[in-house]
């Protein structure tokens, strides 16, 4: 059975934090975040590691299939 909210249930009670208290508490929590956690919560994706790419032409004595024979 679904219970409907009454007017008294939607009013702030004496135990609910004020908006200022919520702001202060969230600042305290965020101050403890690591840079990794901050980036994760901001939705910043970390670049995956990729091995270095080297052209054969950059290697000593390197040649390419496009060299004239």
Contacts of 41 (CB under 8 A, 6+ apart): 33
Query: Dihedral of the CA atoms 46, 41, 28, 36 (nearest 10)?
Result: -10
Q: Does pTM surpass 0.85?
A: no
pLDDT digits (tens, 9 = 90+) for 13-29: 678 999 999 999 999 99
Percent of the chain whose predicted confidence (pLDDT) is above 90: 39
Give pLDDT, residue 19.
95
Checking if the pLDDT of 45 tops 90, the result is no
Predicted local distance difference test score (pLDDT) of residue 47: 82
8 A C-beta contact, residue 21 and residue 27? no
For 25-42, the pLDDT digits (tens) are 999 999 999 999 999 999
* Ranges of each domain in the chain: 17-43
């Amino acid at each position: 059975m679904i219970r409907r909210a009454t007017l008294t249930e939607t009013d702030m009670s004496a135990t609910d934090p004020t908006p200022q208290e919520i702001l202060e508490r969230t600042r305290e929590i965020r101050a403890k975040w690591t840079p990794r956690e901050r980036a994760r919560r901001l939705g910043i994706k970390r670049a995956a590691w990729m091995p270095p790419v080297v052209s054969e032409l950059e290697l000593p004595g390197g040649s390419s299939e496009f060299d004239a024979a």
